[in-house]
């Protein structure tokens, strides 16, 4: 299996971190953005949206990061990262959709300067409430934690004040300290001497 990715962006990092955390047999290859590989004919055949990540599993090609996460979790049930009961699964779907429908656009708007920390706070408060009394978003570590952590560990999210969001603050540190998230963190190259 191969994942074509660009690890420093949240939608890619969530999948790469998941693969690393569970040591899944998926080869990760960085897309060549400089050469605009994602706009080329071969890549467009894989993903007509011309975006990464893309997972290739034999003849099956899958794009959309959250679909890739749930596919991998089902393909490797030993990860226990996706409940199989109907309500447990629906709960995870809720948080995956929340990430892509609410958190992602909001964090995107913060990046462009169209929204501020004050605009994000109500969303973060919802997440903080959900995390009360829990180690992870729905209790155990699941795909939802990977999908959402990638968006709450960005350099912009690091600048927010978490003093009144204690559950979220603790969970962010828990996720940040997972070796897979440490390994996939963007690190500036050392300054030239």
Ligand X SMILES: N[C@@H](CCC(=O)N[C@@H](CS)C(=O)NCC(=O)O)C(=O)O
Handedness of CA 27, 30, 35, 40 (dihedral sign): positive
CA angle 139, 140, 146 (to 5 degrees): 105
**Residues 85 to 104 in contact with ligand X, rule: CB under 6 A:** none
Neighbours of 112 (CB within 10 A): 7
**Residues 135 to 164 in contact with ligand X, rule: CB under 6 A:** none
Q: Which stretch, 45-53, 75-83, 114-122, 130-138, contacts ligand X (CB under 6 A)?
A: 45-53
Task: Find, among 64, 151, 162, 49, the residue nearest to 108 by Cα.
Answer: 151
Q: Supply the minimum distance, in Å, between the C-beta of residue 161 and ligand X.
A: 26
Dmax (CA) for the chain in angstroms is 57
Q: Supply the minimum distance, in Å, between the C-beta of residue 54 and ligand X.
A: 9
Choose, by CB under 6 A, the member of 3, 7, 18, 38 that binds ligand X.
38
Q: Supply the minimum distance, in Å, between the C-beta of residue 96 and ligand X.
A: 10
In terms of CB distance, is 69 or 131 closer to ligand X?
Answer: 69
Tell me which long-range contacts 183-189 makes (C-beta under 8 A, separation of at least 24): 183/17, 183/20, 184/7, 184/13, 184/16, 184/17, 184/20, 185/153, 186/8, 186/155
Is 13 a residue that touches ligand X (CB under 6 A)?
no
d(CA 88, CA 82): 8
Q: Which stretch, 4-12, 120-128, 129-137, 156-164, contacts ligand X (CB under 6 A)?
A: 4-12
- Contacts with ligand X by CB under 6 A: the residue count is 11
**Residues 61 to 80 in contact with ligand X, rule: CB under 6 A:** 64-65
Is 165 a residue that touches ligand X (CB under 6 A)?
no
Choose, by CB under 6 A, the member of 7, 11, 142, 154 that binds ligand X.
11
Which residue shows structure tokens 């997440």?
A: 127
Q: Supply the minimum distance, in Å, between the C-beta of residue 184 and ligand X.
A: 13
Binding site for ligand X (CB under 6 A): 6, 9, 11-12, 38, 50-53, 64-65
């Amino acid at each position: 299996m191969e994942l074509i990715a660009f690890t420093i962006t949240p939608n890619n990092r969530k999948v790469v971190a998941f693969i690393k955390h569970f040591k899944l047999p998926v080869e990760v290859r960085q897309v060549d953005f400089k050469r605009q590989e994602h706009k080329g004919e071969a890549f467009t055949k894989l993903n007509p949206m011309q975006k990464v990540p893309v997972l290739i599993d034999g003849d099956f090609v899958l794009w959309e990061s959250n679909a890739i996460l749930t596919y991998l979790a089902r393909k490797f049930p030993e990860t226990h990262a996706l409940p199989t009961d109907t309500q447990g699964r629906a709960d995870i779907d809720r948080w995956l959709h929340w990430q892509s429908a609410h958190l992602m656009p909001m964090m995107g708007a913060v990046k462009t300067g169209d929204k501020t920390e004050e605009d994000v706070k109500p969303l973060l408060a919802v997440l903080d409430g959900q995390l009360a009394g829990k180690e992870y978003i729905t209790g155990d570590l699941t795909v939802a934690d990977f999908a959402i952590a990638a968006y709450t560990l960005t350099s912009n999210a690091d600048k927010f004040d978490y003093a009144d969001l204690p559950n979220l603050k603790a969970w962010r540190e828990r996720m940040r300290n997972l070796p897979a998230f440490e390994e996939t963190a963007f690190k500036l190259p050392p300054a030239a001497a």
